[in-house]
Amino acid sequence: MKTNHEIDYYIHGEEMQYVEIELDPQETAIAEAGAFMFMDEGIQMETIFGDGSAQQSGFMGKLFSAGKRLITGESLFMTAFTHQGFGKAKVAFASPYPGKIIPLDLSAYHGKIICQKDAFLCAAKGVSIGIEFQKKLGTGLFGGEGFIMQKLEGDGMAFCHAGGHVMKRALNPGEVLRVDTGCIVAYTQEVDYDIQFIGGVKNTLFGGEGMFFATLKGPGEVWLQTLPISRLASRILAYGVGPRKEEGSILGGIGNLFDGDGV
């Protein structure tokens, strides 16, 4: 018997998706602050301390759960949406930037999925959102974005968000996939995660891809994203603060007239 609330859902959109969750009376969905889009009449919104999972017991349990969220850079609080009326009602949560929403039935993955710390979007009440430290020394020192991960535990539905396009890959036992740490969205608990030095003087000094990448060793399943939010943010920052590449050319001024800068 499932301990988490059982919810129905539908994912809308292509590049800017949102997930619409259908709740029966007294069913609850939880979400990160800022993910809410809309809800039907009869649904009550409540800010909760921690993740509201059944594993928490008393104030100290909630305090410990909320404290773990601070380590991953998240808020101490989450938002719970409970259907207090009759019949069915819908609540929707939107993705924060262009990409895809990944539905994860935790009961199909032995009750646990490990994901990037900013990937979680929403879930059925009862799903526990904790932290997963990488235990290997090399991963801790050089893992970058992959050092502190979130773990989603329970037997209900959880939804993660990824940037750009999402690739799901099933790894056979012993099969190794080498990945940029920022491109990892999630993986099953059986996957062995480690960090590997790229090597080579030219690669290290001029490669532009960093000195290390992640290795994911099967068996298990992994989800990868084409556009990590850190990569998107760095490109936008580089474009916004420095001179544009064409501004030093003869056509720079003319080009700006066409895109509105010269008006």
What lies within 8 Å, CB to CB, of 92 at 6+ separation is: 18, 19, 20, 21, 36, 37, 38, 39
Give residue 185's domain range. Answer: 8-241
Is 259 a member of any domain?
no
Is 257 a member of any domain?
no
Pairing of strands 120-124, 128-133: unpaired
Q: What is the C-alpha to C-alpha distance for residues 154 and 113, in angstroms, rounded to an integer?
A: 9
Is 3 a member of any domain?
no
Is 109 a member of any domain?
yes
Mean pLDDT, consecutive 10-residue stretches, the chain (263 aa), reads: 86 94 96 93 90 58 56 71 96 93 96 92 92 61 61 95 95 95 93 78 48 88 91 75 53 49 46
Q: What pLDDT sits at residue 61?
A: 58
pTM: 0.79
Is 198 a member of any domain?
yes
Q: What pLDDT sits at residue 230?
A: 76
The number of folded domains in the chain is: 1
Is 255 a member of any domain?
no
Q: What pLDDT sits at residue 137?
A: 47
* CATH number of the domain within which 116 lies: 3.60.160.10
Is 254 a member of any domain?
no
Is 15 a member of any domain?
yes
